[in-house]
Amino acid sequence: MAVVRASSADIDLLARLLRAEAEGEGQLGMLLVGNVGINRIRANCSDFIGIRTIPQMVYQPHAFEAVIHGYFYQRARESERRLARRVINGERHWPAKYSLWYFRPPGDCPPTWYNQPFVGRYKLHCFYEPTAETCENIYTTS
């Protein structure tokens, strides 16, 4: 059952984001990016208060490098649509299970990002999750 509402256009949009942000990191890397996106919709905290839909999450100003820098142009493929549906249906993976941020540094992962602690790395991306004190919803949404 979906944890966020998603039309077929929303699934395509999320699939395009997964491909643009993490295609080089394989299926798990794309799922992790999807986890962060869905977490941002569900959390309603920090920089993501009022983000309630997939388009709001994807097009939030300064949120995703792929959208900002124009490599978000590729169409959705069925393989990425399947991944998008999986995260929309609530499938979560560590280190993005509760993460609201990720990025790809040129070297080691810094211990914090946007004042949130580092929780893990997958290939080239570092993941950061909020504390329960700053974003309780991320830990209480099922």
Spell out the domain ranges in the chain: 8-140
Question: What CA–CA distance (Å, rounded) separates 109 from 105?
Answer: 6
**Regarding the domain with residue range 8-140, which homologous superfamily does it belong to in the CATH classification?**
Cell wall hydrolase SleB, domain 1 (1.10.10.2520)
Q: How much is the pLDDT for 142?
A: 57
Stretches where the chain sits below pLDDT 50 are: none
Q: Kindly provide the b/e burial profile for residues 30-45, where b requires at least 16 CB atoms within 10 angstroms of the residue's own CB.
A: bbbbbbbbbbbbbbeb
Count of alpha carbons within 13 angstroms of residue 137, beta-carbon side: 12
The number of helix segments (H) and strand segments (E) in the chain equals 6, 4
Q: How much is the pLDDT for 74?
A: 85
CB 137 within 8 A of CB 44: yes
Tell me which residue has tokens 């991944």.
83
Question: What CA–CA distance (Å, rounded) separates 41 from 59?
Answer: 12
Q: How much is the pLDDT for 64?
A: 85
Question: What is the 8-class DSSP label of residue 109?
Answer: P
CB 34 within 8 A of CB 84: yes
Q: How much is the pLDDT for 114?
A: 86
Reported pTM = 0.94
Question: What CA–CA distance (Å, rounded) separates 26 from 18?
Answer: 10
